[in-house]
Amino acid sequence: MSRLLRLSESLLKDAIERGLIEINLYDMRQWAHDKHNTMDDRPFGGGPGMVLKVDRVVPCVEEVQAFSEIPGRVVMTTPQGRLLTQRVVEELAREERLIILCGRYEGFDQRVVDILRPDEISIGDYVLNGGEVAAEVIIDSVMRLIPGVLGDENSAVVDSFSSGNRLLEEDQYTRPREYRGLSVPEILLSGDHGLVEKWREHNRKVKTFARRPELLDGETSED
Ligand code: ADE
């Protein structure tokens, strides 16, 4: 839980204080009413690991949903989910309320998915110990699209990967003009805005071609 509290830092803290977003944390253990607050159990059929219990998770989510008139979209962090891309982030940012369900080490009983029909989301093809990190990534990427959260409204629009923008960002420089023999490209010092824009566009394309050519084809894993 303590890691999630880091969320209250900086931009997010500011957005919460300004009433732009509200975040509530719930510990699913509160819905485990036995003596040991058991949340998981051994898998039927055997095998390693533990499984999060359906009769703990479902009542927890349903109760949290009922705290508001808007039930909200239930998101489950799982390496088996659809990949989180900027397009998915934009989709989530349009929701009034999100309920993010995080697993820890173990998976959920399949009936949690069958009953709640969550939007299963993976933040990448690797396995984390806990879904909290994935939840932080989702919160961080979604909240910056909420109007007013970023100081400059435009900064999210021109980001790499925002809808309609399939190019990586151009190289950036600031003073000093020269450092350890490395100079800032002359054009950026020319004061000619037309030339500067041309250079930036070229730089974005070259960089994208070298690093992420599939973005230029419009072929991404989200398509
Ligand atoms: N939980 C464990 N690994 C994950 C991942 N890659 N994405 C989302 N949730 C996860």
17 assigned to some structural domain: yes
Residue 92 gets the label, from left (phi > 0), alpha (psi -120 to 50) or beta, of alpha
159 assigned to some structural domain: no
- For residue 126, give the ligand 1 atom closest to its CA: 6
Helix or strand holding residue 182 (H, E): strand 182-183
Spatial contact of 39 and 27, defined as CB atoms under 8 Å apart: no
The verdict on 182 and 124 lying in the same domain is no
The verdict on 117 and 175 lying in the same domain is no
The secondary structure of 5-33 as a DSSP string is: HGGGSHHHHHHHHTTS-------GGGG--
Pocket test of ligand 1: the residue of 3, 75, 78, 89 to mutate, having most ligand atoms within 8 Å of its CB, is 78
Q: Does any ligand 1 atom lie closer than 6 A to the CB of residue 123?
A: yes
The verdict on 136 and 62 lying in the same domain is yes
The verdict on 133 and 211 lying in the same domain is no
222 assigned to some structural domain: no
Q: Does any ligand 1 atom lie closer than 6 A to the CB of residue 126?
A: yes
CA 101, CA 50: separation in Å to the nearest integer? Answer: 17
User: What does the pLDDT read at residue 3?
Assistant: 55
The verdict on 136 and 177 lying in the same domain is no
pTM (whole model) above 0.75: yes
The pairing of strands 73-83 and 119-122 is parallel
* Cα 47 to ligand 1 centroid, rounded to whole Å: 20
CA 133, CA 57: separation in Å to the nearest integer? Answer: 19
Give me the CATH number covering residue 128. 3.40.1280.10
Phi, psi of 165 (to 5 degrees): -115, 105
The domain containing residue 182 runs over which residues?
A: 167-216
Looking at residue 223, the DSSP 8-state letter turns out to be -
Query: Would you give per-residue pLDDT tens digits along the chain (223 residues)?
Result: 455 545 556 788 899 999 999 999 999 999 898 899 999 999 999 999 999 999 999 999 999 999 999 999 999 999 999 999 999 999 999 999 999 999 877 799 999 999 999 999 999 999 999 899 999 999 999 999 999 998 765 566 667 777 677 899 999 999 999 999 999 999 999 999 999 999 999 999 999 999 999 999 865 545 4
User: What does the pLDDT read at residue 207?
Assistant: 97
4 assigned to some structural domain: no
CA 97, CA 8: separation in Å to the nearest integer? Answer: 18
The verdict on 135 and 176 lying in the same domain is no
Contact partners, residue 217, CB within 8 Å, separation at least 6? none
The verdict on 110 and 173 lying in the same domain is no
CA 84, CA 124: separation in Å to the nearest integer? Answer: 7
Give me the CATH number covering residue 182. 1.10.1270.20
* Cα 123 to ligand 1 centroid, rounded to whole Å: 6
Looking at residue 218, the DSSP 8-state letter turns out to be T
- For residue 131, give the ligand 1 atom closest to its CA: 1
Residue closest by Cα to atom 7 of ligand 1: 122
Residue closest by Cα to atom 4 of ligand 1: 79
